[in-house]
Amino acid sequence: MIAGNARYVRYIIIAVFTLAVFYCIANFQYDTVTIPTHTPQTGKTEDSTPQSQQPIQKPKIFDATTSPPKKQAGNDGKSPLAVTPADPDWDATLVSPAPGPRMNATFVTLARNSDVWDIARSIRQVEDRFNRRYNYDWVFLNDKPFDETFKKVTTSLVSGQTHYGEIAEEHWSFPEWIDQAKAKKVREDMAERKIIYGDSVSYRHMCRFESGFFFRQPLMMNYEYYWRVEPSVELFCDIHYDPFRVMHEGGKKYSFVLSLYEYAETIKTLWDSTKKFIKNHPEHLAADNAMGFLSDDGGDTYNNCHFWSNFEVGNLNWLRSKAYTDFFESLDRDGGFFYERWGDAPVHSIAAGLMLNKSEIHFFDDIGYWHVPFTHCPTSEKTRSALRCHCNPSDNFDWKGYSCTSRFFDVAGLTRPEGWESQKD
C-alpha cells in the first residue's frame, strides 16, 4: 500500500514538472527593443530606449508647387499612374518649375565627342540639383562637328534648349605671329620636365579659346550670363536659388567656388605681360580692384592665386567689354599661350582681380563642387544639412594651405563661416 502511494506521489511530481516545463516554453521570449509610440497630439515620443536608438524625426518637405503624396491605395482619379513617356503627365512631378523670373543665361561646355559620357554625368548632376526646375539652355562648343550620339545624349539630359556650335578655325589655331619652331621647342622642353599638358598643342588651343573666344561665339551672343560646366564634375548640394539671378541682382560679374596657386612654370612671364598692359591701359583698372588677391607687394609680383575656371558663373558682357578684350588681345600678341602654357584660369582671374571692383566678384559658398582633385564643400554644417549636401566636410579645400580663398575673404572683407578653423590642414 505504501509502495502504491509512493508511486502515485511520483506520478504527481512528474506531472507537475512536465506542466512547469510546458509553461516555461510557452512563456519564453527574447529581450526586445521597445518601439517608441508616437503621440500625434503632442508630437512627443514616449520611449524607454537610449537616445541613439530613437529614429530621427524630421519634417517632411514637399515642393511648394506639388501636393503631398496621397496615402490611399489605388487611383484617386486626379493622379494617373504614368509609367512610360507616352503616358499623360509623364514628367509632371519630376519637373516642377521654380517660380520667379529667368535671366538671359545659358550653361556652356567645351567638349570633344569622346567626352560624351563624362559630360553626361556632369549634366545629370546640374539638372538634378538645379536646372530641372529652371530649364536654362545649354550651349556645347567643339573644334570639330558634334556627332549624333553626343547631341542625342546631351539633348535628352538637358531640360532647356540645347545648341551645338563648331568653333571657327581662327579661334582654334596658331595666330600668324607665333614662331612655330619656338613653340615646338617649348613643348619638347616641358615634356622633358614632365609639366602637365606641357607637350600638348590642343590644350593650348583650349586655354586660348577659353581665355579669348568662347564668349563671342555666335551662339553665345544671345546671352548675358554663362555657367561653365566641364566633363566629370560633381555638384554636392541642392541649389535652392537661381545663381544667375544672384549675379544679376547683386551686380556681380564673375564668381568662383575654388581658388588656388597656379603652377608657376606654366606662366613665367604672364605677370610681366599684365604689367605692360596696365601701363598701356591704366583706364581699364577698377577703382576698388582686388589687386591684394593677386599680389602681395602691391602689384610688383604675382602670387599665382587664381579662381579655378572649370566652374564659373559670369557676365558675358563683361568679357565682351573693351577692357577685357584689350587685355586678352595684349596677352595673345605676347604669345604666352604657345611660348609658355598660360591657362585661362589665371587669365580670367587677373582680369577679374584688376578690372572689376571686389564687390563684383562672388564666392558661391552654397554650391558644393568637385573637379579632380579639389572639393568645395560648404563649411557650415547647418548649410550642408539644409542643402542636403553629400560631400565630406573634411575634403573642403577652402581653408587649406594651398587654397587662396582665405586671401579673397581678407581682401573682400568677408567673414569666414563658422567652423573654418577646424578645416585647416
Ligand X SMILES: Nc1nc2c(ncn2[C@@H]2O[C@H](COP(=O)(O)OP(=O)(O)OP(=O)(O)O)[C@@H](O)[C@H]2O)c(=O)[nH]1
Does 143 contact ligand X by CB under 6 A?
A: yes
- Spatial distance between the Cα atoms of 10 and 225, rounded to a whole number of angstroms: 98
Nearer to Mg ion, 230 or 395 (CB): 230
User: With contact defined as beta carbons under 8 Å apart, do 308 and 256 qualify?
Assistant: yes
User: With contact defined as beta carbons under 8 Å apart, do 283 and 277 qualify?
Assistant: no
Single out the residue of 111, 235, 294, 347 in contact with ligand X (rule: CB under 6 A). 111
Nearer to ligand X, 203 or 420 (CB): 203
- Measured from the Cβ of residue 159, the count of other Cβ atoms closer than 10 Å reads 21
**Amino acid symbol at 16:** V
- Interface positions, 269-308, toward ligand X (CB under 6 A): none
- Spatial distance between the Cα atoms of 48 and 45, rounded to a whole number of angstroms: 10
Long-range contacts of range 70-75, CB-CB < 8 Å, 24 or more positions apart?
Answer: none
Nearer to ligand X, 306 or 384 (CB): 306
User: With contact defined as beta carbons under 8 Å apart, do 233 and 310 qualify?
Assistant: yes
- Interface positions, 55-94, toward ligand X (CB under 6 A): none
Chain position carrying cell 550653361: 107
Grid cell, residue 195, equals: 609639366
Nearer to ligand X, 16 or 372 (CB): 372
Grid cell, residue 416, equals: 569666414
Does 168 contact ligand X by CB under 6 A?
A: no
Grid cell, residue 386, equals: 539644409
Does 230 contact ligand X by CB under 6 A?
A: yes
Q: How far apart are the first and last CA of the chain?
A: 95
Nearer to Mg ion, 229 or 377 (CB): 229
Helices (H), 270-412: 270-280, 291-294, 316-319, 322-334, 336-339, 344-355, 381-386, 405-412
Q: Which stretch binds ligand X (CB under 6 A): 103-111, 179-187, 269-277, 290-298?
A: 103-111
- Spatial distance between the Cα atoms of 204 and 198, rounded to a whole number of angstroms: 9
Name which of Mg ion, ligand X, none residue 202 binds, using a CB cut-off of 5 to 8 Å depending on partner kind. ligand X
Does 142 contact ligand X by CB under 6 A?
A: yes
**Amino acid symbol at 363:** F
User: With contact defined as beta carbons under 8 Å apart, do 252 and 315 qualify?
Assistant: yes
**Count residues contacting ligand X (CB under 6 A)?**
13
Q: Which stretch binds ligand X (CB under 6 A): 107-115, 155-163, 258-266, 383-391?
A: 107-115
Chain position carrying cell 581699364: 284
Which residues face 371 on adjacent strands? 374
Shortest CB 149 distance to Mg ion, Å: 21
Residues that bind Mg ion (CB under 5 A): 230, 310
Does 310 contact ligand X by CB under 6 A?
A: yes
- Measured from the Cβ of residue 245, the count of other Cβ atoms closer than 10 Å reads 16
Chain position carrying cell 573637379: 371
Shortest CB 128 distance to ligand X, Å: 20
Among 127, 312, 340, 360, which one carries the catalytic annotation?
312
Catalytic residue at 210? Answer: no
- Spatial distance between the Cα atoms of 379 and 366, rounded to a whole number of angstroms: 9
**Residue number closest to Mg ion, CB atom:** 230
Nearer to Mg ion, 95 or 196 (CB): 196
Single out the residue of 103, 206, 319, 331 in contact with ligand X (rule: CB under 6 A). 206
**Residue number closest to ligand X, CB atom:** 202
Shortest CB 371 distance to Mg ion, Å: 6
Does 35 contact ligand X by CB under 6 A?
A: no
**Residue ranges of E strands in 136-221:** 137-142, 162-166
Q: Which of 145, 126, 158, 262 is nearest to 207 (CA)?
A: 262
Does 112 contact ligand X by CB under 6 A?
A: yes
Q: Which stretch binds ligand X (CB under 6 A): 46-54, 110-118, 124-132, 272-280?
A: 110-118
Nearer to Mg ion, 289 or 310 (CB): 310
Nearer to ligand X, 33 or 372 (CB): 372
Shortest CB 110 distance to ligand X, Å: 4
Shortest CB 231 distance to ligand X, Å: 5
Q: Cα 25 from chain centroid?
A: 61
Name which of ligand X, Mg ion, none residue 206 binds, using a CB cut-off of 5 to 8 Å depending on partner kind. ligand X
Does 202 contact ligand X by CB under 6 A?
A: yes
Shortest CB 253 distance to ligand X, Å: 22
Total residue count of the chain as it appears in this document: 425
Single out the residue of 103, 105, 115, 294 in contact with ligand X (rule: CB under 6 A). 115
Q: For 58, phi and psi rounded to 5 degrees?
A: -140, 150
Single out the residue of 357, 372, 381, 382 in contact with ligand X (rule: CB under 6 A). 372
- Spatial distance between the Cα atoms of 95 and 68, rounded to a whole number of angstroms: 15
Q: Which residues have a catalytic role annotated?
A: 312
- Residues in contact with ligand X by the rule CB under 6 A: 109-112, 115, 142-143, 202, 206, 230-231, 310, 372
